[in-house]
Amino acid sequence: MYNLIVLWEKASKGDNESILAIVEKFDPLIKKYSRKLSYDGADTDLIICLIETIKDNNIKFKEDKYIVCYINATIYHKYIILSKKNMSILNNETELNDYITSDNNKLNQCENVVDNYIFISNLLDKLPDNQKQIIKKIFFNDLSVVELAKQLNISRQSVNRAKNRALNNLRKLAME
């Protein structure tokens, strides 16, 4: 078997047997990155990259270790490029699936909102008027306890107590 420098020189001149020998030598590296890419044809893409690297470069190397480092770096960079491309494709496919299923989810959410609104309305109707008014203004009209206290001309503490009593009553009514 030839050393890597001789194989590289022959392969860069177009010798197919030398190209095949180099591909076989770097097969473990190619398999490693193709497993990481985890899509069909990843190994083929990396082999094509290796062959193009060999044919396109007439670099003269002094030792085998320089060829190994050069090929390792080339395959690693191709792995990065393919990984980004694959992730982009996967993200687009996922977004499409989310878009299709989101319509069904929106419909289910709307049904749940209507059901919840009816349930809460029924519970609120069972509360005393002052507690019902406080709950509606705090939770439906987004008023703070301080704002509501000023509006009703009572203390913040009184509003907070009434709110807590109303919430306790709602819990009890919901459990029935």
- Tell me: the pLDDT tens digits for 98-147? 555 555 566 566 677 677 778 778 888 888 988 889 988 888 888 888 99
Q: Do 29 and 82 share a structural domain? A: yes
Please state, in angstroms and as integers, the Cα–Cα distance from residue 131 to each residue in 18, 140, 171, following that order.
87, 13, 13
Q: Do 81 and 9 share a structural domain? A: yes
Q: Do 88 and 16 share a structural domain? A: yes
Quote the distance between the C-alpha of residue 104 and its chain's center: 21
Q: Beta-carbon neighbour count of residue 124 at 10 Å?
A: 19
* Domain-located, residue 98: no
Determine the Cα–Cα distance for residues 107 and 95; give it in Å rounded to an integer: 19
With the CA atoms of 86, 89, 94 and 96 taken in that order, what torsion angle do they form, in degrees rounded to the nearest 10?
-170
Q: Which token pair is 124?
A: 């609120």
Q: What are the φ/ψ torsions at residue 128 (nearest 5 degrees)?
A: -65, 155
- Tell me: the pLDDT tens digits for 8-56? 888 888 888 988 998 899 999 999 998 888 888 888 999 998 888 888 7
Q: Do 134 and 57 share a structural domain? A: no
